[in-house]
Amino acid sequence: MTGSAGAGYLGVDIGGTNVRAALVGAAGSILLLERWPAEIHLGREHFLGRLAGNLAALRERGAATGIETAAVGLGVPGLIAKTGLVHSSVNLEPLVGLNLKDAVSAETGLPTVVMNDANAAAFGESRYGAGRSYASLLMFTLGTGVGSGLILDGALWTGIDGVAAEYGHATVEPAGLLCPCGNCGCLEQYASATALTRAAITSVQHQGGMLADIPAGELSAETIAAVARRGDTLARSLFEEAGRYLGIVAATVANLLNLEAIIVGGGVAASFDLLDAAIRREVDRRAFAIPAARLVIRPGELGDDAGILGAAALARELSGNAPK
């Protein structure tokens, strides 16, 4: 089979709250999109049944327009083995221990690949988004947590066990905040949307400013960003602090891998302009001049679609259909 105009690939972005699935054309355009609640509290069988039903429906709707589905790719939050086994997933506990690749492949009869959701997003940006012109990059997805995905010479690097590039759990404070992963002082505890909100709630008690006018229940990365853009010193400093921690890690990456780019995606990336200068300053301060000068730091371009596009692209490439 070739990557002809008639071939399509199912890309699935599984989240703790919602699942989004798309039929993606060979050149990376989203042809059909479906979204439904994960309802993981109803258990594994319910989840898989709904997934199978929606994938079959997308496939049928594609076939009705002459698009033949050739493979499936799924991004899942958690540690995913190369075999497709879900080692761990905080948000999708009922899937732990399941080989999702085997389950979906058996249901659809299609070549299937399962990957970590941040890896899927990195692959999507690498193929169709902000990473298109770079062979090697690291992408951070800043949301509830901090995910990351590493592309080396055009290929997704997943490590010997499939669980590489969990760089949201790089230690930035040796005796810092306890992380659910068991380590102390992970980047995720300082640069996620959750971390920004927590830092705002703590510091507003002492420092006041415009953030003090917002009820604690309404503080979020978005509302803090809006206040920062109105010039509030505290709100700006919270983003600068998150950027500083990202920059510490980015400098290490620059020295270790001499990458071309770091892409910042996820919900907090809408505030890239508030993070950018602090990341850059830290990289220039800490990394060697040559890798620091080489490293481009830029926001993602695909937004919420990075994961489904990346999952579909990896499915396409692993099923033998090379990119154009």
Q: How far is the CB of 179 from Zn ion (least distance, A)?
A: 3
| 226 counts as binding Zn ion under rule CB under 5 A | no
- Taking the least distance from each CB to Zn ion, the nearer of 164 and 270 is 164
What's the CA angle centered on 224, arms 221 and 227, to 5 degrees?
150
Site string for Zn ion, 252-281 (x = CB under 5 A): ------------------------------
- Taking the least distance from each CB to Zn ion, the nearer of 3 and 147 is 147
Q: How far is the CB of 163 from Zn ion (least distance, A)?
A: 13
Site string for Zn ion, 172-211 (x = CB under 5 A): -------x-x-x--x-------------------------
Q: Among 123, 127, 117, which Cα is nearest to 74's? A: 117
Token pair listed for 24:
């993606």
- Do 101 and 108 meet the contact criterion of CB atoms below 8 Å apart? no
- Taking the least distance from each CB to Zn ion, the nearer of 169 and 316 is 169
- Do 323 and 127 meet the contact criterion of CB atoms below 8 Å apart? yes
Token pair listed for 236:
């700006």
| 163 counts as binding Zn ion under rule CB under 5 A | no
- Taking the least distance from each CB to Zn ion, the nearer of 166 and 317 is 166
**Which 3 state secondary structure label does DSSP give 156?**
strand
Q: How far is the CB of 185 from Zn ion (least distance, A)?
A: 8
In the chain, the amino acid numbered 25 is: G
| 169 counts as binding Zn ion under rule CB under 5 A | yes
| 316 counts as binding Zn ion under rule CB under 5 A | no
| 79 counts as binding Zn ion under rule CB under 5 A | no
> What is the C-alpha separation between 109 and 68, in angstroms, rounded?
13
Q: How far is the CB of 46 from Zn ion (least distance, A)?
A: 30
- Taking the least distance from each CB to Zn ion, the nearer of 207 and 252 is 252
Which stretch, 151-159, 163-171, 213-221, 308-316, contacts Zn ion (CB under 5 A)? 163-171
Query: What is the residue whose two structure tokens read 């920059």?
Result: 247
| 52 counts as binding Zn ion under rule CB under 5 A | no
- Taking the least distance from each CB to Zn ion, the nearer of 105 and 189 is 189
Q: How far is the CB of 266 from Zn ion (least distance, A)?
A: 16
Residue 160: other Cβ atoms inside 10 A: 7
Q: How far is the CB of 194 from Zn ion (least distance, A)?
A: 12
The DSSP bridge pattern shows strands 68-76 and 79-80 to be: unpaired
**Which 3 state secondary structure label does DSSP give 228?**
helix
User: What is the strand order of the sheet 68-76 is part of?
Assistant: 30-37, 18-25, 7-14, 68-76, 112-116
By CB under 5 A, the count of residues binding Zn ion is 5
Cβ neighbors of 289 (< 8 A, separation 6 or more) are none
Q: Which residues are at the interface with Zn ion (CB under 5 A)? A: 169, 179, 181, 183, 186
